[in-house]
Amino acid sequence: MAFEIPDACTLPTAERPVRLAEFDELLTGPVRSADRESPTRLTLRLHSSDDDLEEITRDLAAREAQCCSFFGFTVAADGSDVVLGIEVPPQHTSILDSLQARSGVIE
C-alpha cells in the first residue's frame, strides 16, 4: 500500500523518504499487535530487546507531530512493551490504514 503524504505535512520533501524509513523500521520489527479501536485510532504494541525502544518511539512521534500537527500520539511503557497510540482526524484515516498495513499486523 502506498503511503499518502497529506498536504498538511510541513516536512521538507527531501526528508520524507528518511522519515518513512524510520517508520518502516519501527513498524516492521517490533510490532506485536495492532488494534484499530476506531477508524481514527490505531494502537500498536511494540516489543524489542532494544532498551531504547521507548525513547526511539517517543522521539519519532514527537518529530512527526511537529510536521504533521493533525497526528495525536501517545507513548507508554507497559512492562517490556511500548504502546504507541496514533489518532488522526476522520479525513486522514487512510494514513492509519497505511501504517497498519506497513506493520504487517491486521486485526
The full set of domain ranges for the chain reads 31-103
Q: What are phi and psi of 36, to 5 degrees?
A: -90, 90
Q: Dig out the grid coordinates for 98 from the structure.
A: 497505511
Amino acid in the structure at residue 27:
L
Q: How confident is the model at residue 1, as a pLDDT?
A: 45
Q: Taking the model in full, what pTM does it have? A: 0.84
Q: What is the mean pLDDT of each successive set of 10 residues along the chain, which is 107 residues long?
A: 58 67 82 92 88 90 85 92 94 86 73
3-state secondary structure of 96: helix
Handedness of CA 36, 5, 65, 79 (dihedral sign): positive
Q: Would you identify the CATH topology of the domain 31-103? A: Alpha-Beta Plaits (3.30.70)
Residue 104 gets which letter from DSSP?
T
- Alpha carbons 53 and 82: distance in angstroms, whole number: 7
**Per-position b or e across 30-58, b if 16+ CB within 10 A of its CB:** bbeebeeeeebbbebbbbbeeeebbebbb
Predicted pLDDT of residue 50? 76
